[in-house]
Amino acid sequence: MLAGLVDLAVRRPWALLAANLVVLAAALAVSIAGAGSLPIGSTAPSGSTTGEPDFIVATTGRTPVHSGVYRVALGVIASQVKADPAVAEVRHGPISDDGRSTSLLVSVGGLDASAKQDAVERIEAGIDPGPLRVSYGGEVAALLDARHELAVDFWKLELAAMPFAALILALALGARLAAAPIISAATAIAGALAGLVVIGLVADISLLGSAPAAVVGLVLGIEAPCALFARFRAEATRAARPEALRRAVHTTMDLAIPSAIAAALVTIGLVATSLDQAASMIVGSALAAALALASALVCAPAIVMLAADDRHLSGQAPVTTGLASRPAALAGWLASSRRATVMAVGIGAALMLAAAVPLIHAHGAPFSTLDLPPDSSARTAAMLAGVTNHLGGGDAVFGDLPLAAGAAAVGLIVVLGLAFRTRLALPVAIVSLLPAAAACGLCIVVFQEGHLAGAIGLTGQGSLESGAAASLLVALVSVGAARSGAAMQAAQEATAGGLAPGLAAQWTASLLVPGAIVATLIGAAATGVLAGATLYPAREFGLAVAVGLLLDLVLLRLPLIAMLARRGRG
- What's the whole-number mean pLDDT along residues 64-89? 91
Q: What is the pLDDT of residue 51?
A: 62
Are 118 and 38 spatial neighbours (Cβ–Cβ below 8 Å)?
no
Q: Is the pLDDT reported for residue 44 higher than 70?
A: no
Q: How far is CA 446 from CA 315, 350, 364, 365, 552, in A?
A: 42, 20, 14, 16, 20
Q: Give the fold, CATH level 3, of 55-137.
A: Alpha-Beta Plaits (3.30.70)
- 3-class DSSP string for 365-390: ECCCHHHCCCCCHHHHHHHHHCCHHH
Among the listed residues 216, 219, 211, the one whose alpha carbon sits nearest the alpha carbon of residue 275: 211
Q: What is the pLDDT of residue 273?
A: 83
- Residue 443: which residues within 8 A CB-CB, separation 6 or more? 464, 469, 472, 540, 543, 544, 547
Are 542 and 530 spatial neighbours (Cβ–Cβ below 8 Å)?
yes
| 117 residue type, one letter | Q
Q: What is the pLDDT of residue 46?
A: 60
Q: Is the pLDDT reported for residue 219 higher than 70?
A: yes
List the domain boundaries for the chain.
2-44+174-311, 55-137, 334-373+388-569
- What's the whole-number mean pLDDT along residues 194-221? 92
Are 450 and 525 spatial neighbours (Cβ–Cβ below 8 Å)?
no
Q: What is the pLDDT of residue 388?
A: 64
Q: What is the pLDDT of residue 548?
A: 97
- Name residue 58's beta-bridge partners: 103, 135
Q: Is the pLDDT reported for residue 455 higher than 80?
A: no
Lowest mean pLDDT, pick from 217-221, 313-317, 500-504: 313-317
Among the listed residues 479, 474, 494, 490, the one whose alpha carbon sits nearest the alpha carbon of residue 419: 490
- What's the whole-number mean pLDDT along residues 97-107? 90
Q: Is the pLDDT reported for residue 149 higher than 60?
A: yes
Q: Is the pLDDT reported for residue 332 higher than 80?
A: yes
Cα separation of 258 and 481, whole Å?
A: 9
CB half-sphere exposure, 254, CA atoms < 13 A = 14
- What's the whole-number mean pLDDT along residues 167-183? 92
Are 291 and 190 spatial neighbours (Cβ–Cβ below 8 Å)?
no
Secondary structure element (H or E) that encloses residue 188, with its range: helix 179-199
Q: What is the pLDDT of residue 184?
A: 96
Identify the top-confidence range among 191-200, 368-377, 388-397. 191-200
Cα separation of 424 and 422, whole Å?
A: 5
- Residue 86: which residues within 8 A CB-CB, separation 6 or more? 108, 109, 111, 115, 116, 119, 122, 123
Cα separation of 224 and 515, whole Å?
A: 8
Mean pLDDT of the chain: 88
What is the CATH architecture of 334-373+388-569?
A: Up-down Bundle (1.20)
| 342 residue type, one letter | V
Among the listed residues 134, 186, 143, 156, the one whose alpha carbon sits nearest the alpha carbon of residue 36: 143
206: left (phi over 0), alpha (psi -120 to 50) or beta: beta
Q: What is the pLDDT of residue 47?
A: 52
Query: Which one is predicted more confidently, 274 or 486?
Result: 486
- What's the whole-number mean pLDDT along residues 506-518? 95
pLDDT in tens, 438-451: 999 999 998 887 77
Q: Is the pLDDT reported for residue 201 higher than 50?
A: yes
Q: What is the pLDDT of residue 454?
A: 67
Query: Which one is predicted more confidently, 10 or 479?
Result: 479
Are 213 and 285 spatial neighbours (Cβ–Cβ below 8 Å)?
yes
Q: How far is CA 166 from CA 317, 517, 519, 523, in A?
A: 17, 14, 12, 12
Are 55 and 120 spatial neighbours (Cβ–Cβ below 8 Å)?
yes
pLDDT confidence band for 453 (50 / 70 / 90): low
Please state the pTM of the whole predicted model.
0.91
Query: Which one is predicted more confidently, 225 or 458?
Result: 225
Q: What is the pLDDT of residue 390?
A: 54
pLDDT in tens, 409-448: 999 999 999 988 888 899 999 999 999 999 999 999 988 8
Q: Is the pLDDT reported for residue 570 higher than 50?
A: no
Pick the CATH number of 2-44+174-311 from 3.60.15.10, 3.30.1490.190, 3.30.9.10, 1.20.1640.10: 1.20.1640.10
Q: Is the pLDDT reported for residue 185 higher than 60?
A: yes
- What's the whole-number mean pLDDT along residues 160-181? 91
Same fold, 2-44+174-311 and 55-137: no
Q: Is the pLDDT reported for residue 214 higher than 60?
A: yes
The rounded percent of the chain whose pLDDT value lies above 70 is 95
| 349 residue type, one letter | A
Are 187 and 290 spatial neighbours (Cβ–Cβ below 8 Å)?
no
